Structure 1
Amino acid sequence: GGATTGGRGARPTRDMNPHAHVATDTPVRTAPTDPGTGSTGVPVGGRLRRRWRPVLAAAVAVAAIGGGVAALTTGGVDGSGGGTSPGGAGKGQSTAAPAGALPDGFEPWRGTVPGGREDIPDELRCVARGDALFCGGGGVVATRIRAHDGSRVWTAKSPGVPVQGVHLVGATDDTVLGYRFAAQEVPEGPRSEVVALDADSGRELWSAPSGAQSTAVTGRTMDAVVVGSAVVTVDAANSRFEARDAHSGEVLWTTPFPAGTQCAPVPLRPRLLAMCAADVEVDDLQVRRPTLRTLALSSGTLGRPVAVDGPVVPVGAARGRLVLLSKHYEGTAPAGYDGVARFDPASRKVTYARFDKVYEGTSGMADGTVYVSGQAGLVTALDSATGRRKWSRQTGVEGASGPAAGGGALYFSSATGRVVALSPKDGEPLWATDPRVDALTGEQDASPRVTVAGRAVFVAAATNTLFA
């Protein structure tokens, strides 16, 4: 994607060394009416806690939330950019709050995380672990925020121009992984890197140059994914997969791409897949016959290729199968989705189903259902096995991404911070918020902006703004 330029109101910050981080115990910039910071947060270097208090009151403080955080799933954030991460839990992937609970001392909050480029604020994406919220994107490699009050524990900044759609890589029990972009005035060194940070202190553990072709292969940004306690990346030359221990950075294995192809990692937890496309199709920016292969986490061994009728975009998982949406084209321009494909790595079979019409908008997936959010606020639920339309619901959230699922609701939100909660059964609106940030809503294919943890909802919006 191109560099993002939208948004106003970023707080001026000093220039940061690309490999430096800022350890801070100060709160994120908050509105004057927001509650003050408490003293019960995790200090720098403190271990992750899971201290939650049951909430019996009906008012859950979700109405104060707006904007863009990746969905919390048992698989964590993988940067896939389209709905809930495919698959279930890998070891150490994320920690959900008990149902009906909030972080101890939780109050609604709002704040802004300054990035490495004050002139180009963007959006963040987050994952909740215990009482910590880890976010990245928009000039921020990663930041740790106290979930109960929004105060920042540490922030590692990225000095380069943020790339649209590239946010947090993911998190394990002790490590947070994000992307760092080099400043344009620094010609030497890699243009983009995957950076591992200690979850407690924000100390940089290791970094590795990363590729930039995965979007052309999958239609999603997947140059790095976290699976279990490992992170799998694409090298800077876009020629091979590299697997590392997420915390130590030890290289576990490397696997060259099949000859004449470009590939990207696709998580299907606890499995990992490789999606590959011929060089000529990648160069033509239209992958019509991609292949899917298993990619062994223990050794990096590639399975035999299975061809898929394309162009398709991986959107999630259902019953151990990878779900892909079929892209519809009008001439050479993409114009929505007209069907669904499912790949079963056990049987190596691909099945297809057509939609009753072409659905345009941003796609996502939760609990076996595909959702498409139109630019004008129409949300449609589609069965991922049959392609049958379950329901459509007009909402007031234009340009929304989603869904994030939790607490018996589906959450969709836009870059303005407007959020709507819908019933998964029939799309009935449960509640909605007003916009929180002055921003454009035109970006399509944005990853979900909401993270759900127990009865807390965390939302990211334009200009690196977060709400809870």
Structure 2
Amino acid sequence: MDVPPHTGDLDLSAVTDADRLHALLRTLQARAGLSYREVESRTRKAGHHVSKSNVAEILKGNRYPRRESLVAIVEACGVPPGELTDWVRAWERVAAASHTGPEPDELVKSSRQEAERIVAEARLEAGAILEAAWRRAEPPGERTAMFRGGPSRSGTYAPGIKPPSWRPWSFNAIGAASSSPVVEGRTVFLGGGGYLHAVDAFTGEENWRYQAGTVDSSAAVVDTSVYVGSGDGFIFGAWYVHSIDRHTGKSRWRFATDGPVLSSPAVAGGAVHVGCEDGRLWTLDAATGDPRWCYQSDGPVTSSPAVVHGVVYMGSQAGHLTALDARNGNVCWTVPMDGPVAASAAVVQGTVYVSTYSGRTYAMDALTGLLHWSFAPDEPINSSPAVDGTSVYVTTCEGNLWCLDAPTGRPYWKHEVGARLDSSPVLAGGIVYVGSADGCVYAIDTETRRRRWRMQTGGAVRSTPSAAHGIVYLRSDDGRLYAIDAETGASAL
């Protein structure tokens, strides 16, 4: 849908009951001309999935939506970011005046069971799809994969199942680098040794390599294109953002920047959003590489932007977190932090979670930037949080993995790894995976809070693992990419 639906006659300020809010939602859907399935598809692509059955129940008036679900649905129907606040205020009035709206205490109490139910359903659905995939060609349609699981940077992955004949493997990625593996379908994309490598996810055989200079950025894959930044202008005379054909490894376009690109691209709405060490956040046309707009920050941008519901969230080394309108780069809000923001923010269910190197993790309202809570373990933090909607997982430079309650920031538990943790945690199937300076990757069970397994590599693990197909993929400073059994930790070593 190219033109947003007309909403000027929808008097949201007069909404005081659930029936009226449901009626306006149905009117919006009808004007947008979208089916329940199309609304679901758009919420998934935007980073907050509302299932078809939930969309139907909400629009029929049988279920009062959570706030984040309402935002996702109206955004999917074409309401621009600047008009979302009116819908949220209407939702808040109804929730405050009626028992049909979920009370905060009830949300906190039930959120973990709801998340477990959703995860269980997702496992069954993903397992059936993957089992069938082993027996036929990959299905057509847009396929995406990005650093930390997608444009929301939540750090969460579906657990998946391994192919019947799979065996652990390792691949020589030629030297140490901080580029993290990104898995899409049967291919792992990883920077190393002056190249972007495309490696078969099941066998470890290289499909192609693309010469790009130093690649500390992690790839973003959308359909047939791969996007990545390079950081070695001393060899190539400039720094670039590259677009590469995912099947052939041939260049489609490249865009020159004025500084190294350590940030990993986020691709949404036909645009590539990526930070640069010269302090700029670039938004490029995904098809041509032409710049759409540029935002000049007050310090180097090494963190990777998150994009959710038409808003770009970026941190700077100068200590600010900024929300920008993805269409034109206009500032929605900016918040000063207590230290440099080198890691990426995660945006989940209407909340932005971000950590600073000074040692504090923040949770802020995604629409307004207002603070919900902050947590300070008095330990430097150089990593991004992983968020599943009910819990927030944070690693510190002093070797601790913290689990926090997502709504309140209250610590649930702490697991002491015992070695420096610069690698960001990722979550798949109830297990947190994280690499450490002692050269190991650790698997921590979120229920028992105990270590499931540990796998030793030949160098420090500073990059962020990725999980797919029941396999954990990680790169080590020994120069190798490892594919490890996610359940047992079995490896090719």
Query: Where on the TM-score scale, by shorter chain, does this alignment land: which range?
Result: 0.5 to 0.7
In the alignment, structure 1 segments of 5+ residues that lack a partner are: 1-49, 56-73, 115-119, 215-220, 278-284, 329-336
Q: Which residue of 2 aligns with 1:101?
A: 161
Q: Which residue of 2 aligns with 1:157?
A: 211
1:302 maps onto 2:330 in alignment: yes
Q: Which residue of 2 aligns with 1:271?
A: 310
Q: Aligned partners of 1:361 and 1:391: how far apart in 2?
A: 17
In the alignment, structure 2 segments of 5+ residues that lack a partner are: 1-127, 134-142, 484-493
1:341 maps onto 2:362 in alignment: yes
Q: Aligned partners of 1:105 and 1:454: how far apart in 2?
A: 12
Q: How many residues align?
A: 342
Amino acid at match of 2:362: A
Q: Which residue of 2 aligns with 1:176?
A: 226
Q: Which residue of 2 aligns with 1:204?
A: 251
CA shift for structure 1 position 156:
1.2
Say if 1:378 and 1:273 are closer, same or farther in 2 by CA, change over 3 A. same
Structure 1 residues 244-283: aligned runs within 5 Å: 244-245=285-286, 248-251=287-290, 253-257=292-296, 266-275=305-314
Say if 1:103 and 1:302 are closer, same or farther in 2 by CA, change over 3 A. farther
Q: Secondary structure at the match of 1:125?
A: coil
1:87 maps onto 2:134 in alignment: no
Structure with higher Rg: it is 2
Say if 1:312 and 1:342 are closer, same or farther in 2 by CA, change over 3 A. farther
Q: Which residue of 2 aligns with 1:407?
A: 429
CA shift for structure 1 position 198:
0.4
* TM-score of the aligned structures, taking structure 2 as reference length: 0.59
Q: Aligned partners of 2:309 and 2:149: how far apart in 1?
A: 15
Q: Which residue of 2 aligns with 1:63?
A: none
1:393 maps onto 2:421 in alignment: no
1:167 maps onto 2:217 in alignment: yes
Q: Which residue of 1 aligns with 2:186?
A: 131
Provide the alpha-carbon RMSD of the alignment. Answer: 3.8
Say if 1:223 and 1:343 are closer, same or farther in 2 by CA, change over 3 A. same
Q: Aligned partners of 2:438 and 2:204: how far apart in 1?
A: 19
Q: Deviations over 1:185-206 (max 9, x none)?
A: 66xx41x111111000101111
Say if 1:404 and 1:276 are closer, same or farther in 2 by CA, change over 3 A. closer
**Does the 8 A contact of 1:356 with 1:389 survive in 2?**
no
Say if 1:51 and 1:152 are closer, same or farther in 2 by CA, change over 3 A. farther
Q: Aligned partners of 2:417 and 2:258: how far apart in 1?
A: 38
**Does the 8 A contact of 2:177 with 2:191 survive in 1?**
no
Q: Aligned partners of 2:408 and 2:131: how far apart in 1?
A: 42
Q: Aligned partners of 1:176 and 1:428: how far apart in 2?
A: 37
* TM-score of the aligned structures, taking structure 1 as reference length: 0.62
Which of 459, 470, 477 in structure 2 is aligned with 1:455? 470
Q: Which residue of 2 aligns with 1:6?
A: none
- Identity across matched positions, percent: 19
Say if 1:311 and 1:213 are closer, same or farther in 2 by CA, change over 3 A. farther
- Compare the two structures and name the one with the higher helix fraction: 2
1:225 maps onto 2:266 in alignment: yes
Say if 1:75 and 1:345 are closer, same or farther in 2 by CA, change over 3 A. farther
**Does the 8 A contact of 2:434 with 2:442 survive in 1?**
yes
Amino acid at match of 2:230: R
- Compare the two structures and name the one with the higher strand fraction: 1
Which of 130, 138, 144 in structure 1 is aligned with 2:198? 144
CA shift for structure 1 position 309:
4.3
Q: Aligned partners of 1:88 and 1:182: how far apart in 2?
A: 25
Q: Aligned partners of 2:129 and 2:173: how far apart in 1?
A: 24
Say if 1:422 and 1:228 are closer, same or farther in 2 by CA, change over 3 A. farther
Say if 1:305 and 1:465 are closer, same or farther in 2 by CA, change over 3 A. same
CA shift for structure 1 position 305:
3.1
Say if 1:272 and 1:108 are closer, same or farther in 2 by CA, change over 3 A. same
Amino acid at match of 2:429: G
CA shift for structure 1 position 243:
1.9
Q: Which moved more, 1:249-258 or 1:201-210?
A: 249-258
Q: Secondary structure at the match of 2:404?
A: strand
Say if 1:356 and 1:136 are closer, same or farther in 2 by CA, change over 3 A. closer
